[in-house]
Amino acid sequence: MATSSIKTMPIMAIPNFAICHKLELLKEDKSHDLKRQEGVVVDEEGLSYEFREMLDSLPKERGWRTRYLYLFQGFWCQSKEIHAIMSFQKHFQCLQDDVVLATIPKSGTTWLKALTFTLLNRHRFDPVSSTTDHPLLTSNPHDLVPFFEYKLYANGDVPDLSGLACPRSFATHVPFGSLKDSIDKPGVKVVYLCRNPFDTFISSWHFINSIKSESVSPVSLEEGFDMYCRGVIGFGPFWEHMLGYWKESLKRPEKVLFLRYEDLKEDIEANLKKLASFLGVPFTEEEEGKGVVKAVADLCSFEKLKMLEVNKSSKSIKNFENRHLFRKGEVSDWVNYLSPSQAERLSALVDDKLGGSGLTFRYTKGNIHEATGHNSVCQF
């Protein structure tokens, strides 16, 4: 198995992570690719035939931006994601103060990465006075807090993480059931950000159609909605993804913090304080007096991040342009797309799958009532 390395850096390694990540861990090196294939027969996608045989044994459905999605360990994902996840599960060694950010796609992942990075590094990079030198101004959050499955272990790589200073921060879309064995050390903290299923679907549909390969036909709203309601979406079914982290947060609140996207939109400063306390870096009275909480919120805001040049033209995840990560970031945008019958179907599904779990979402505009004619799903 090929390895990739990260240079050892002093004390606070994370702020420089984007640079070393781009230049060493992620660069496309031809000799690197050749080494990976020495003695191993691979197909046109660079996957071994042994892996391909395993893949062919899995249930599959039409993919959203690739030909197929496969049912792996109880959730749907692409072949290359499976390859990376298997490498991660086999090789990752957690440390007791690691921080793992978890989301289902299009639930505010970029925002959560920006907030967490800024909180953990605010004593080196003061969000109040950093007008030009803060890493967020020149690096996308996905470069600062790397994904296990899209960066570190992509293509089955095994990265050398020994040069990263603690606390190390990582991100994943993997459901809790497939993550838990890799983060079983005491002290490892997981932050899960959840977004209401209605907006998550619309955001996913827009995003996937904007980045899909030209060789894959677009997914219509109707087809995508049906697949979503059947659970066939990346790392879905969405209800199982949400419930896995929700139940663990109730069982072990010291290990898993469960946040809601809508709550952050409504009161970002209160939720920043909650997040900072959970991470072990609470705001001091002096910091609050100096406006540090507001400065973090402003620096990481959707509007601020979207206007940065690095988020307009650069690429941080695979070959996708960063601009596709920033569309609207609004709550209840789904009412502009879903028909009353679709809203009724999804609300009934959510009632069925999440009802009785205690997991609820608030819809600030009362739009479910407007779309369906009843209020029963405003809490689910």
Question: In Å, what is the CA distance from 73 to each residue of 64, 150, 160, 258, 317?
Answer: 19, 18, 26, 23, 24
Task: Give the SS3 label for residue 379.
Answer: coil
* 39 part of a folded domain: no
* 23 part of a folded domain: no
pLDDT tens per residue, range 262-285: 999 999 999 999 999 999 999 999
The answer on pLDDT for 64 being more than 90 is: no
The answer on pLDDT for 107 being more than 60 is: yes
Q: Give residue 139's domain range.
A: 47-372
* 310 part of a folded domain: yes
Q: What local confidence, expressed as pLDDT, does residue 267 receive?
A: 96
pLDDT tens per residue, range 309-331: 765 776 556 666 555 555 565 67
Q: What local confidence, expressed as pLDDT, does residue 235 receive?
A: 97
More confident of the two residues 41 and 27: 41
Integer Cα distance of 360 and 119 in angstroms = 27
Q: What local confidence, expressed as pLDDT, does residue 203 receive?
A: 87
* 17 part of a folded domain: no
More confident of the two residues 38 and 26: 38
pLDDT tens per residue, range 187-246: 999 999 999 999 999 988 887 877 666 666 788 999 999 999 999 999 999 999 999 999
Structure tokens at 85: 């996840």
* 118 part of a folded domain: yes
The answer on pLDDT for 12 being more than 90 is: no
Mean pLDDT of the chain: 82
The answer on pLDDT for 40 being more than 60 is: no
* 254 part of a folded domain: yes
pLDDT-based confidence at residue 42 (cuts at 50, 70, 90): low
Residue 23 has what DSSP assignment?
I
Catalytic annotation, residues: 173
Q: What local confidence, expressed as pLDDT, does residue 252 receive?
A: 97
Integer Cα distance of 293 and 122 in angstroms = 10
* 38 part of a folded domain: no
- The CATH code of the domain that includes 127 is 3.40.50.300
The answer on pLDDT for 41 being more than 80 is: no
The answer on pLDDT for 6 being more than 70 is: no
Question: CA nearest 346: which of 174, 203, 196, 234?
Answer: 196
Integer Cα distance of 361 and 262 in angstroms = 8
What is the pTM (predicted TM-score) of this model? 0.83
* 103 part of a folded domain: yes
State the chain's maximal CA–CA distance in angstroms: 62
Buried b (16+ CB within 10 A) or exposed e, 151-173: bbbbebbbbebebbeebbbbbbb
Question: In Å, what is the CA distance from 188 to each residue of 164, 252, 278?
Answer: 16, 12, 11
Q: What local confidence, expressed as pLDDT, does residue 213 receive?
A: 63
Percent residues over pLDDT 70 in the chain: 76
Q: How many domains does the chain have?
A: 1
Percent residues over pLDDT 90 in the chain: 56
pLDDT tens per residue, range 136-183: 888 888 889 999 999 999 988 999 999 898 999 999 999 999 999 999
Q: What is the average pLDDT across 70-92?
A: 96
Check: CB of residue 175 under 8 Å from CB of residue 19. Answer: no
